[in-house]
Structure 1
Amino acid sequence: MPEPRIVIIGGGHVGLTLALRLQRKLRPDEATVTVIDTQPHMTYQPFLPEAAAGSVEPRHVVVPLREALRRCQVLTAQVTSIDNAHQELTVMLGDGKVEHVGYDVLVVVPGSISRALPIPGLAEHGVGFKTIGEAIYLRNHVLSRLDIAASTHDEELRRRLLTFVFVGGGYAGIEAMAELESMARDAIRSYPPIAPEEMRWVLVEAMDRIMPEVSPPMGEYTRQRLEERGIEVKLNTTAKSFTDGHVVLSDGDEFDADTVVWTAGVKPHPMLEDSDLPRDAKGRVECTAKLQVRGTHTVFAAGDCAAVPDLTSSDPDALCSPSAQHAVRQAKVLADNIAALLRGQPLVNYKHRYAGSVAGLGLFQGAAEVYGVKLKGFPAWLLHRVYHLARMPTASHKARILGDWLLELPFRRQVVALGELHDPRAEFIKAANTRGLPRPHGGVAAG
């Protein structure tokens, strides 16, 4: 009898945590596990702000799937449709070929993508903050704005270059902005022409508070700390236009900005639209408390793309929030339930009371609320680092990140823009297009 085929769609934090646990729990002859993702690595997103700010080497916050999942099959491909009626996936490989992949047990954990709104100019001038590529881009972009501003005498251009706008006051937006502002404030010590007060950092939030993940007092504390650093926090405000880099806000404020970062929410992965799985009004896969997709026996889901009942709430219709804390714990229960399913054992419900949140607000600054205990400043910042270091997969990546942090103690973090990373062939193309031009004196011919 062939071994059952377990297929996991998504190699993000949930998918990797699930696959690692299945590697440990299942015997080699008990099932085959295949992980399908468009990327060959998992990005630990809570460390993206520190990677953008230069506190952590970007390579250290990504885990190669093939390195971590020695007993699993890893397929770098894009799932284009799910046909659960026939237990089959349609996938597009890297070379453009289309194949069909069968399964006995399916796990749907593709995560989410940025939820952008149809605001004029956003697509042309905005950038998200969900991938390591976006984090590296923003780091290089912010530092390059300082470079250009330090060398221009055009005051209007200088103001535009030194204006940074973040839309979205949740954890992603707050941490990204706080870390990048801290990095820029540290970097301008190397740019004598620029004074710290010349930089303008603007946070735009449609709600009447920031960081809804924590209590209102902690959210207010965070807002005050940001404003003490000169960051403008605009509550009950929305963005109306970013056309040609000209920012128009609903409170009547208008100004030019060369940096627009969009962190105003996420939505389930669009891959789910071409599937026969039940979904709710927000596009999430409907699940039972056992993390099984409703109406199915061998299909499971978890994380941002799943609507999972919150059994800790008195509201019978309450769902678990789309947080990393729930996602990782769901992955562990999910692995246990899949092993139980294969062995004919009863499945268990997912039930976890939200423990709280920790946030880094730049070097030595943070805010945390864990089981009702509030921490501020350095203790919160330290807890943020310790917590996420413990959650980082693989011992080697933990060690590398710890090494990055220890190097910060005797040395300043490196603040240099490597813009060539975004267009590495530009210089070569320029050189190739200058054939026939006189060679500069002293040039050395190749070959």
Structure 2
Amino acid sequence: MATTSHDTPRVLVVGAGQAGMHVARRLRRRLRPGEAAITVVDPHSYSTYQPLLAEAAAGNLEPRHVVVPLRQVLPGVEVITRAVISIDHSRRTAYVASGSGEPEPLGYDVLVLAPGSVTRVLPVPGLAEGGIGFKTVGEAIHLRNHVLAQLDTAASARSDADRERALTFVFVGGGYAGVEALAELQDMAHDACRHYPGIDPARLRWVLVEATGRILPEVGERMGRYTVDLLQRRGIDVRLDTRLTSVVDGHLVLDDGSEFDAGTLVWTAGVAPHPLLKQTDMPLDERGRVLATKYLSVVDTPDAWALGDCAAVPDLARGPGAVCPPSAQHAVRQARVAAGNVIATLRGRTLKPYRHTSAGSVASLGLYQGVAQVYRLRLRGLPAWLAHRTYHLLALPTWNRRLRVVADWTLALLFPREIVSLEALEHARDAFTTAAEETAGRR
């Protein structure tokens, strides 16, 4: 790992999601030469633009086009592709995973915490064995491969029960991730059925399970009701005020008394703070998030800043006691303020508080369908779908990625979706390993 001179402070950014990557980009642009060195540590060499994961899963977008290579967008920044195991801020030291198994110390002067969040998994029997998450590009592509594989399974099933199980798809969680993934994958599966003469699209069963009484709370109650009506008109079984109690061996049990088998269970029921936070000496709130001030500095902790999903940041626009929700919109805007305040601290200048009034929310519900609330303007259908694509296209980092995404969208409108399942990529070494074992057995 690179080191800095004694006179040059090191700013360590932990995490390279929307918050961490944008902090590092802004610091790189605004710091004077030699004023500070920037180091970014993340387990991946890229940053994922999560709002477009559903379209990547459905085949509208090439998976590589929803991720941004860190070294490409952060020239001059030291990028360490490893996991941070723990942080001892009192010693200004982070401990990073190494190949030897012994954590390697990494010193710093200023810490910016932005490791993001992880999927919140509840202790539901069978969930760990049979559930599929939807937070990373790997999970999105795995889900696409799995759905297409279920159509193959149904096409060759010898009993109606096996066919019905393979064609039952359940999504738990009515937030953005769950609703968008469900809508996009339903479109994809229905298109794919044209190539499966033995499968009637009407036999595909799609179920959305939500523990509260509404879905997509970010777009408002009225647009949430519209979304429920739209999904139901598309044949999707929407279960509100319902919880999953068991999913052992693919047999689902809901607390409304219903039971059925399903070949696919996608879990998108919320997020939890990154487990790294428990391995630090930072103050945490009751939910495990880092306590931050309105300036995005960590409470009672000098030279430490926190933002994004991992931080409990006061939401000044909503009043006393309110905390910013975990969204990409807040993460990007917090990054601008956090980078500015880090620089202001280095230069002995006044800090700026973070205050942002939400511009609204947009959600895609499949091809040509969507809902949006932009300030007081409510959109649905084609206008909302166009607003969704426009907003996220402009939010994507670099013109390189924007042009590639536009090209993908254009081709998807002109040609049918690809229905190839590349599930073998997830087990790329299996054939080689098997051949090597057979060779060793013949000796």
Cα distance in 1 between the residues matched to 2:327 and 2:283: 22
- 1:383 equivalent in alignment to 2:374: no
Q: Is the deviation greater in 19-28 or in 232-241?
A: 19-28
1:186 has 2:188 as partner? no
Taking the aligned partners of 2:439 and 2:24, their CA distance within structure 1 comes to: 53
* Alpha-carbon contact 1:76-1:93 (below 8 Å) kept: no
What are the Cα deviations for residues 306-335 of structure 1, in whole angstroms up to 9, with x where unaligned? 001111123x11111111111110011111
After TM superposition, the structure 1 = structure 2 runs for residues 31-430 of structure 1, keeping only pairs within 5 Å, are 31-94=36-99, 96-314=101-319, 316-430=320-434
1:362: Cα distance to partner? Answer: 0.7
Q: Distance in 2 between matches of 1:414 and 1:372?
A: 38
Aligned length, in residue pairs: 437
| TM-score computed with the length of structure 2 as normaliser | 0.96
Asked whether the 8 Å contact 1:77–1:94 carries over to 2, the reply is no
2:3 alignment counterpart: none
Task: Verify the 8 A CA contact 1:112 1:267 in the aligned structure 2.
Answer: yes
* Residue 19 (structure 2) pairs with residue 3 (structure 1): no
SS in 1 for 2:16: coil
Structure 1 length as normaliser, TM-score?
0.95
Q: Which amino acid aligns with 2:261?
A: D
Deviates more, 1:403-412 or 1:29-38: 403-412
1:337, 1:347 within 8 Å by CA — same for their partners in 2?
yes
CA distance in 1, matches of 2:277, 2:308: 14
SS in 2 for 1:213: helix
State the AA in 2 paired with 1:249. L
- The CA distance in 1 between the partners of 2:440 and 2:218, in whole Å, is 62
1:339 Cα offset (Å): 1.2
**Residue pair 2:219, 2:371 contacting (<8 A) in 1 also:** no
Q: 1:11 to 1:218 in 2, by over 3 A?
A: same
Q: How much has 1:432 moved relative to structure 2?
A: 4.1
Q: Distance in 1 between matches of 2:208 and 2:100?
A: 41
Deviation at 1:95, TM superposition (A): 5.1
Per-residue CA distance 1:355-397 (angstroms, 9 max, x = gap)? 1100011111111001011100111111101101111111111
- For residues 275-316 of structure 1, the C-alpha deviation after alignment (integer angstroms, 9 at most, x for no partner) is 1100000000000000000002310000001001111123x1
> Which segment drifts farther, 46-55 or 416-425?
416-425
The code of the aligned residue for 1:78 comes to A
Q: List runs of 5+ in structure 1 lacking aligned partners.
A: 438-447
CA–CA distance in structure 2, aligned partners of residues 83 and 433 of structure 1: 45
Contact 2:42 2:82 in 1 (8 A): yes
What is the rounded CA distance, in whole Å, between the counterparts of 2:244 and 2:99 in structure 1? 37
The Cα of 1:28 is off from its aligned counterpart by 2.2
Identity among equivalent pairs (%): 56
Contact conserved, 1:238 with 1:249, CA < 8 A, in 2? Answer: yes
> Aligned with 2:64: secondary structure?
helix
Determine helix, strand or coil for the equivalent of 1:345: coil
Q: CA deviation at 1:97?
A: 4.1
8 Å Cα contact 2:85-2:103 kept in structure 1:
no
Match runs of 1:423-438 below 5 Å: 423-433=427-437, 435=439
Q: Distance in 2 between matches of 1:137 and 1:92?
A: 26
CA distance in 2, matches of 1:236, 1:71: 50
Indicate the residue corresponding to 1:441 in structure 2: none
* Structure-2 residue corresponding to 1:442: none
- Code of the residue aligned with 1:412 in structure 2: it is P
* Counterpart residue identity of residue 252, structure 1: G
Structure 1 residue 70 displacement after superposition: 0.7
Amino acid at match of 1:89: A
More divergent stretch after superposition (352-361 vs 144-153): 144-153
> Alignment partner of 2:351: what SS?
coil
One-letter amino acid of the counterpart of residue 360, structure 2: G
Shift of 1:435: 5.0
* 1:239-282 Cα deviation digits (max 9, x unpaired): 01000100000011110011111000100000010111000000
